[in-house]
């Protein structure tokens, strides 16, 4: 047995990590990202001569748990045809046994990397509205994302906004009896198609990201999760967009704070950082991130509507107004008309005094 | 020698995908247990020998004796019965056993000299010693525990990859794919610095098409990866541990 040099070991590691795309229509270009389940590669579709992104498991998955999860993600994406959700093109198993799916290659930047550069608050809110649109569409199709965070939002060069990484998405109970929802027909693929098992997350399993998880999600109350868990995450996303600086106190689960307390601590402490944002927006974020889910918005559309009303200078449901606040809001909304009337009155007054002399 | 124990797989057969040597080493079935211990010794004896030489600065003769004694204890005295996969990795457990063994070196040496150990493992120590010449031993002298741990991990990867390469060679021979293995050897194993032969050059050398070079290499790498991961699975007790170790083995970023 010959000795393997460090260089040979590095080469073997690199060669072993790369997915074996032989026998498929894809040619690897480069690795562009990695996640909990696997890696994402930029690839060339040799038949359609276009670039795609391949999401591939890093390792063969003997129990099939991760493979089923990845394919489930592909199937969920396939049924969520929406401009704000990345479309899936193909799925299957590579020659080396690894499960993959091909999706549109999104040329853009992650929201967490681009948010600080966006100086205009209305621009940031419009991005948030598009995120809400995509999530509302998914909810209407009975799908919870369960991991909404800036890292999972891509912003394209022409303002496109795409919600990515549906790896821990959940099909709501009301759709569980829908055979298409649970176990959709496998996609045609040049590679072998892996059989899909309906995935159920066990009670007590925590999937999500601290700081963006609803308290009930952080506690692992899997069965009781509904759209309001995503609404909490949207509230955290709004909070981030209002104050995109790195959050203080972000921590990982199990390090000092218990699961529920972690999410709550993040939710409450974060508002210290947004003292200078408009109060109606802070109130919207606070309502969306209410500890008690009964206090949150009942639907994503309702949340999006409040944002739209704020942008239009209208009152928002999360922020009750007294007379002074109402006057201030109306003054802001009609500031141009008010300025014109005031200018007119000043000029009239000046002319009156001038000709009177 | 009649007492010699055969080490290392030579049959070219691959274990079932989910078979774990770590679990089977405590099996009540002597054949299963023997097969498991053989797999563990094959993967770990070189890293252990090098660890004793580097960490404890023992002479090659002392290191040979200590390595022999450690694995004789593993095989004959059920040392692995005290191993709990839920608490530690096998590599860490063996390292702790080595440290204890070296600490009691004097007693062990006396016992060996009295001929207390009947079983003698057939291990290729000159090869391990030659490999050690490639390591920068002086840089590791007095190194921190973390550096030594990294060294042990790297040597384990080297040992496991070497076993996988050997199995791949046997597999290619059995299937009449010697050219596949030779291409893999030249392109991925040989030390050439930054310069590697191009596919066209290899195609000319082996009198095959350039596309065949691509396909042959893809086959060899695919099989190598499969064999290496199978061998790693043997050294782990759970799927979770396997995934964690596989990421380290393949240099994949941690989850």
| Given the residues A45, A133, A147, A165, the one annotated as active site | A147
Q: Tell which wins on pLDDT, B10 or A3.
A: A3
Give a yes or no: residue B69 inside a domain. Answer: yes
Write down the pLDDT at residue A309: 92
Q: Where are the domains of chain A?
A: 323-356
Among the candidates B111, B143, B175, a domain finishes at B143
| A261-284: pLDDT as tens digits | 444 444 444 454 455 678 889 999
Chain A hits for B183, Cβ within 8 Å = none
* Same-domain status, B92 and B185: no
Please tell me which of A12-21, A230-239, B56-65, B122-131 the model is most confident about, judged by mean pLDDT. Answer: A230-239
Q: Are B128 and B22 in the same domain?
A: yes
For A9, the closest of B157, B229, B243 (CB atoms) is B157
Are B39 and B128 in a shared domain? yes
How many angstroms separate the CA of residue A321 from the nearest CA in chain B? 47
Q: What is the mean pLDDT of residues A85-103?
A: 90
B218 touches chain A (CB under 8 A): yes
Using CB atoms, pick whichever of A4, A36, A63 lies closest to residue B158: A4
**Which of chain A's residues have a Cβ under 8 Å away from the Cβ of B237?**
none
Q: Which of A7, A17, A62 lies at the smallest CB-CB distance from B251? A: A17
For residues B23 and B137, state if they share a domain: yes
Q: Measure in Å the smallest separation between the Cα of A31 and chain B Cα atoms.
A: 12
Residue A109: what are its φ and ψ, rounded to 5°? -125, 150
pLDDT at A228: 93
Facing A4 at nearest CB: one of B189, B247, B250: B189
> B191-211 pLDDT, tens per residue?
776 677 888 999 999 999 988
Mutate to test the interface with B, among A10, A59, A93, A209 (most CBs of B within 10 A): A59
Which of A352, A46, A36, A12 lies closest to A190 in space, CA to CA? A46
- Does one domain contain both B103 and B54? yes
Q: What percent of chain A stands above pLDDT 70?
A: 79
Domain span holding position B132: 18-143
Query: Looking at the 3D structure of chain B, how many domains does it have?
Result: 2
Contact B127 A16 (CB under 8 A): no
Whether B243 has its CB under 8 Å from any CB of chain A: the answer is yes
Single out the residue in B143, B165, B191 at which a domain terminates. B143
- pLDDT attached to residue A185: 42
Which of B218, B232, B244 is the best mutation test for A, with the most CBs of A within 10 A?
A: B218
Residues B178 and B108 in one domain: no
The C-alpha atoms of residue A156 and residue A143 are separated, in whole angstroms, by 24
Q: d(Cα B54, Cα B98) in Å, to the nearest integer?
A: 12
- The verdict on B133 and B168 lying in the same domain is no
CB B222 to CB A14 under 8 A?
A: no
pLDDT at A297: 94
For A117-129, write each residue's pLDDT tens digit.
887 889 999 999 9
Q: Return d(Cα A118, Cα A177) in angstroms, integer.
A: 43
* pLDDT at position A101 over 50: yes
Parallel/antiparallel/unpaired status of strands A170-171 and B4-5: unpaired
Average pLDDT, chain A: 80
pLDDT at B12 over 60: no
Going by C-beta distance under 8 Å and a sequence separation of 6 or more, which residues neighbour residue A54?
Answer: A19, A21, A26, A28, A40, A41, A42, A43, A100, A101, A102
pLDDT at A256: 35
Neighbour tally for A22: CB within 10 Å: 17
> pLDDT band at residue A61, thresholds of 50, 70 and 90?
low
Across the range A231-255, mean pLDDT stands at: 71
Chain B hits for A28, Cβ within 8 Å: none
Of B143, B163, B187, the domain-final residue? B143
Domain shared by B139 and B156, yes or no: no
> What average pLDDT does range A15-31 have in this prediction?
88
pLDDT tens-digit series, residues A12-22: 988 888 888 88
Are residues B228 and B113 located together in one domain of the fold?
no
- Which among A4, A8, A36 is the nearest to B255, CB-wise? A36
pLDDT band at A172 (very low <50, low <70, confident <90, very high): confident
Across B196-229, b (16+ Cβ under 10 Å) vs e yields ebebeebbeeeeeeeebbebbbbbbbbbbbbbbb
Give the DSSP letter string of A191-209.
SBPPPPPPP-PPTT---S-
Touching A: B residues 84-143, CB under 8 Å: 127, 130-131, 134
Share of chain B above pLDDT 70, in %: 81
pLDDT at A84: 95
Find the mean pLDDT for residues B138-155.
Answer: 78
Burial B163-186 (b: 16+ CB within 10 A, else e): bbbbbbbbbbeeeebebbbbbbbb
Is residue A178 among the annotated active site residues?
no
pLDDT value for A202 = 56
- Contact: A15, B221; criterion CB under 8 Å: yes
Q: Which pLDDT value is given to residue A264?
A: 45
With 0-12 CB in 10 A as exposed, 13-18 as middle and 19+ as buried, what is B83? buried
Quote the CA–CA distance of A60 and A248 in Å, as a whole number: 38
The pLDDT of residue A85 is: 95
A62 contacts B166? CB cut-off 8 A: no
Q: How do residues A289-333 score in pLDDT, each as one tens digit?
A: 999 889 999 999 999 999 999 998 888 888 887 777 778 778 877
- Asked whether A273 and A248 are in contact (CB, 8 A), the reply is yes
| Residues belonging to chain A with any Cβ–Cβ distance to chain B shorter than 8 Å | 1-17, 20, 22, 34, 36, 39, 58-60, 62-63, 65, 95-97
| Residue B159 sits in the same domain as residue B128 | no
Whole-model pTM?
0.70
Residue B138: per-residue pLDDT: 65
Give the three-class secondary structure for B201: helix
């Amino acid at each position: 047995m010959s000795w393997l040099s460090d260089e040979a070991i590095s080469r073997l590691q690199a060669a072993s990590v790369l997915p074996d795309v032989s026998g498929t229509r894809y040619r690897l270009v480069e690795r562009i990202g990695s996640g909990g389940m696997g890696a994402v590669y930029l690839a060339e579709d040799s038949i359609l001569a276009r670039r795609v992104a391949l999401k591939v498991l890093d390792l063969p998955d003997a129990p099939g748990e991760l493979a089923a999860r990845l394919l489930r993600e592909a199937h969920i994406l396939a049924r969520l045809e929406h401009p704000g959700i990345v479309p899936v093109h193909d799925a299957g198993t590579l020659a080396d046994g690894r499960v993959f799916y091909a999706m549109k290659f999104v040329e853009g930047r992650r929201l967490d990397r681009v948010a600080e550069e966006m100086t205009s608050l209305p621009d940031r809110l419009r991005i948030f509205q598009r995120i809400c649109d995509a999530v509302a569409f998914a909810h209407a199709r009975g799908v919870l994302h369960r991991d909404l965070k800036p890292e999972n939002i891509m912003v394209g060069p022409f303002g496109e906004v795409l919600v990515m990484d549906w790896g821990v998405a959940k099909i709501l109970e009301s759709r569980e009896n829908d055979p298409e929802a649970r176990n959709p027909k496998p996609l045609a693929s040049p590679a072998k198609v892996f059989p899909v098992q309906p995935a159920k997350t066990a009670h007590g399993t925590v999937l999500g990201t601290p700081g963006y998880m609803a308290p009930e999600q952080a506690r692992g109350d899997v069965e009781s999760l509904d759209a309001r868990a995503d609404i909490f995450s949207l509230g955290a996303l709004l909070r981030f967009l209002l104050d995109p600086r790195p959050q203080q106190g972000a921590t990982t689960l199990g390090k000092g704070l218990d699961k529920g307390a972690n999410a709550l601590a993040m939710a409450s402490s974060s508002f210290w950082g947004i003292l200078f944002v408009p109060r109606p927006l802070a109130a919207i974020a606070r309502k969306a991130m209410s500890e008690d889910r009964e206090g949150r918005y009942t639907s994503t559309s309702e949340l999006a509507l409040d944002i739209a009303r704020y942008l239009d200078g209208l009152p928002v449901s999360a922020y009750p107004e007294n007379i002074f606040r109402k006057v201030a809001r109306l003054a802001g909304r009609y500031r141009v008309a008010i300025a014109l009337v005031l200018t007119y009155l000043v000029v009239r007054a000046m002319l009156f005094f001038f000709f009177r002399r | 020698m009649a007492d010699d124990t055969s080490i290392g797989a030579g049959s070219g057969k691959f274990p079932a995908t989910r078979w774990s040597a770590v679990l089977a080493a405590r099996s009540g079935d002597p054949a299963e247990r023997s097969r498991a211990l053989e797999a563990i010794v094959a993967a770990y004896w070189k890293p252990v020998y090098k660890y004793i030489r580097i960490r404890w600065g023992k002479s090659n003769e002392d290191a040979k004796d200590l390595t022999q004694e450690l694995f004789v204890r593993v095989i004959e005295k059920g040392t692995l019965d005290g191993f709990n996969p839920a608490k530690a990795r096998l590599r860490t457990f063996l390292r702790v056993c080595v440290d204890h063994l070296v600490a009691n070196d004097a007693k062990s040496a006396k016992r060996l000299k009295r001929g207390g150990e009947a079983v003698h493992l057939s291990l290729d120590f000159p090869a391990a010693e030659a490999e050690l010449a490639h390591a920068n031993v002086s840089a590791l002298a007095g190194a921190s525990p973390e550096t030594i741990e990294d060294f042990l991990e790297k040597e384990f990867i080297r040992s496991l990859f070497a076993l996988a390469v050997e199995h791949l060679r046997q597999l290619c021979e059995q299937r009449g794919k010697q050219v596949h293995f030779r291409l893999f050897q030249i392109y991925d194993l040989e030390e050439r610095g930054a310069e590697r032969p191009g596919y066209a050059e290899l195609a000319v050398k082996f009198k095959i098409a350039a596309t065949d070079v691509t396909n042959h290499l893809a086959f060899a790498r695919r099989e190598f990866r499969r064999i290496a991961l199978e061998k790693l699975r043997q050294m782990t007790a759970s799927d979770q541990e396997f995934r964690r170790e596989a990421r380290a083995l393949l240099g994949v970023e941690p989850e």
